[in-house]
C-alpha cells in the first residue's frame, strides 16, 4: 500500500497504523490522518536537542524518562486494544514518569509532559486537535515552543482535568515545572542562534 492509497476521510486505528510500511510519517488524531512535515528545519532540531538535553540532565537517576521523536504515543480513551486506539502521536519530546506505560512500541497512555515545537507546516487545526486529545487523555503539561517567534507557552492540567494557560515566556525567562523539582530551562539558551552561541 502507498500513502496515496489511503482515504483521508476514513477513520483509522492503531491496528491499521501498524500495517503501513510507506516512508511518509503521519499521526492519527481521533482516527483521522495528519501527515507530518518533511524533515524538520535546523532551528527546530537545534531547539529540540537543547530541550531534550536539559530534561535528560534533570531526570538522570530519577524515575522518569524523556523521549524525542520519532516515538509513538498511543492515547487511550476506553481500551488498550490496538483496534480501539484511534490517536497515535509523535510529540517532539515527551516526559513519562509512570514507566509501566513504556513498551517496545513506545508509550501506551498519557505522558506527564508533551513538548511540541512548531514548524511552518503546523496548522491551527492540528494544534487545536492535539490540545483536545492531550487534555482528554490527561497529559499534565503541554508545552508549545515557537522557534520563529522565540516564545514558550505552557498549558497545565487542573484538578478538573482541564488545561489552564500560563504566561507567554521568551528571552530572559526561565521555564520550571511542578512535575520536575529543580528543573529550570533558560530560554536565552534555548533560542540562541547556535548550540553554543548567544541569542539574537
Q: pLDDT tier at 119 (50, 70, 90 boundaries)?
A: confident
Q: Is CATH 3.40.50.10470 correct for 39-190?
A: no
Provide mean pLDDT across the span 177-184: 94
pLDDT given for residue 194 in this prediction: 65
Instruction: Give the residue extent of every domain in the chain.
Output: 39-190
195 pLDDT band (50/70/90 cuts)?
low
Judge whether residue 200 has pLDDT over 60.
no
Percent of the chain whose predicted confidence (pLDDT) is above 70: 94
Which three-class secondary structure string do you get for the chain?
CCHHHCCCCCCCCHHHHHHCCCCCCEEEECCEEEECCCCCCHHHHHHHHHHHHHHHHHHCCCCCEEEECCCCEEECCCCCCHHHCCEEECCCEEEECCHHHEECCEEECCCCEEEEECCCCCCHHHHHHHHHHHHHHCCCEEEEEECCCCEEEEEEECCCCCEEECCCECCCCEECCCCCCCCCEEHHHHCECCCCCCEC
The reported pTM is: 0.92
pLDDT of residue 41: 84
Give the pLDDT band (50/70/90) at residue 36. Answer: confident
How high is the pLDDT of residue 161? 96
Query: What is the per-residue pLDDT for 2?
Result: 76
What does the pLDDT look like over 82-109, one tens digit per residue? 999 999 999 999 999 999 999 999 999 9
Amino acid at each position: 500500500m502507498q500513502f496515496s492509497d489511503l482515504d483521508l476521510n476514513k477513520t483509522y486505528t492503531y491496528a491499521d497504523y501498524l500495517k503501513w510500511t510507506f516512508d511518509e510519517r503521519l499521526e492519527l488524531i481521533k482516527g483521522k490522518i495528519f501527515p507530518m512535515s518533511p524533515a524538520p528545519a535546523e532551528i527546530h532540531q537545534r531547539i529540540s536537542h537543547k530541550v531534550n538535553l536539559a530534561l535528560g540532565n534533570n531526570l538522570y537517576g530519577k524515575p522518569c524518562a524523556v523521549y524525542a521523536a520519532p516515538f509513538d504515543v498511543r492515547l487511550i480513551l476506553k481500551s488498550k486494544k490496538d483496534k480501539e486506539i484511534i490517536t497515535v502521536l509523535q510529540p517532539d519530546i515527551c516526559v513519562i514518569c509512570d514507566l509501566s506505560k513504556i513498551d517496545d512500541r513506545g508509550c501506551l497512555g498519557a505522558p506527564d509532559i508533551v513538548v511540541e515545537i512548531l514548524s511552518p507546516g503546523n496548522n491551527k487545526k492540528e494544534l487545536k486537535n492535539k490540545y483536545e486529545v492531550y487534555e482528554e487523555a490527561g497529559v499534565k503539561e503541554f508545552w508549545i515552543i515557537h522557534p520563529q517567534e522565540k516564545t514558550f507557552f505552557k498549558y497545565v492540567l487542573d484538578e478538573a482535568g482541564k488545561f489552564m494557560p500560563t504566561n507567554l515566556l521568551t528571552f530572559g525567562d526561565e521555564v520550571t515545572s511542578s512535575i520536575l523539582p529543580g528543573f529550570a530551562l533558560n530560554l536565552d539558551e534555548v533560542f540562541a542562534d547556535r548550540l553554543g552561541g548567544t541569542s539574537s
